[in-house]
């Protein structure tokens, strides 16, 4: 892929678009939570915005969706599965071991709703925004590893507030896991040109967390 140089206007519009997506998603999610007191309902609203708005912006700016990872590819799927399983389960077990009987609030929600959100909607939504919209834009203009690193850092940052009240060791392990997930998903998205391996990686990390945290 040839690396170009975006103009100042392009950089500003992209930054505004990213902030706009976050603002709309969390504003809507907050209101839904206030009205329903349901973490699941709020989270679903946020993920739907994460999916729809980036796609809408890409189409409105007449860019190619394939450049943003919307490309069906079977490449690296096996690699993403094996590596994600090898890394995510040990991280989840370590986190659980040091949990000090801490319970994640979403665990109390309906189990099937958790599965839908964690294994399908969240991986698609968050990967569309971070590895699709953001990384897809960066891959056109900066070094591959910078394009992988920046979304991974921002993806890690969104986990700070939800886990800020957790025991310190859980907080650290959560951010560490989110960062590793971000790097892996970003790497597979970059080398495959598709969001599919990234979504699978994300789903496996979430799956390992569910299995370990729901176990007695």
User: Binning pLDDT at 50, 70 and 90, where does residue 104 land?
Assistant: low
Residue 212 is encoded by which pair of tokens? 């370990």
Q: Which pLDDT does position 96 carry in this prediction? A: 77
Query: What pTM does this model have?
Result: 0.92
| Cα 179 to Cα 79: distance, rounded to the nearest angstrom | 19
The stretches of 37-64 forming alpha helices (DSSP H) are 39-60
Q: What is the mean pLDDT of residues 96-109?
A: 64
Q: What torsion, rounded to 10 degrees, do the Cα atoms 210, 204, 160, 23 define?
A: -110
Please enumerate in sequence order all residues whose Cβ is within 8 A of that of 147, keeping only pairs 6 or more positions apart, or say none: 135, 138, 139, 186, 190
Tens digits of residue pLDDT in 124-180: 999 999 999 999 999 999 999 999 999 999 999 998 988 877 778 888 888 999 999
């Amino acid at each position: 892929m040839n690396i170009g140089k975006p103009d100042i206007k392009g950089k500003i519009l992209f930054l505004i678009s990213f902030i706009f997506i976050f603002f709309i998603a969390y504003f809507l999610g907050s209101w839904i939570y206030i009205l329903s007191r349901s973490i699941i309902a709020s989270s679903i609203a946020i993920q739907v915005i994460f999916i729809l708005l980036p796609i809408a912006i890409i189409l409105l700016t007449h860019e190619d969706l394939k450049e943003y990872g919307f490309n069906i590819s079977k490449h690296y799927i096996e690699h993403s599965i094996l590596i994600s399983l090898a890394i995510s389960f040990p991280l989840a077990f370590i986190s659980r071991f040091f949990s000090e009987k801490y319970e994640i609030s979403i665990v109390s929600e309906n189990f099937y709703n958790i599965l839908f959100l964690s294994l399908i909607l969240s991986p698609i939504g968050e990967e569309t925004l971070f590895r699709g919209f953001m990384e897809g834009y960066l891959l056109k203009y900066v070094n591959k590893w910078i394009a992988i690193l920046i979304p991974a850092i921002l993806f890690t940052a969104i986990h700070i507030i939800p886990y800020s009240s957790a025991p310190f060791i859980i907080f650290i392990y959560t951010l560490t896991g989110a960062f590793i997930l971000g790097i892996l998903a970003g790497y597979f998205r970059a080398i495959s040109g598709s969001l599919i391996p990234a979504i699978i990686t994300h789903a496996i990390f979430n799956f390992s967390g569910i299995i370990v945290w729901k176990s007695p």
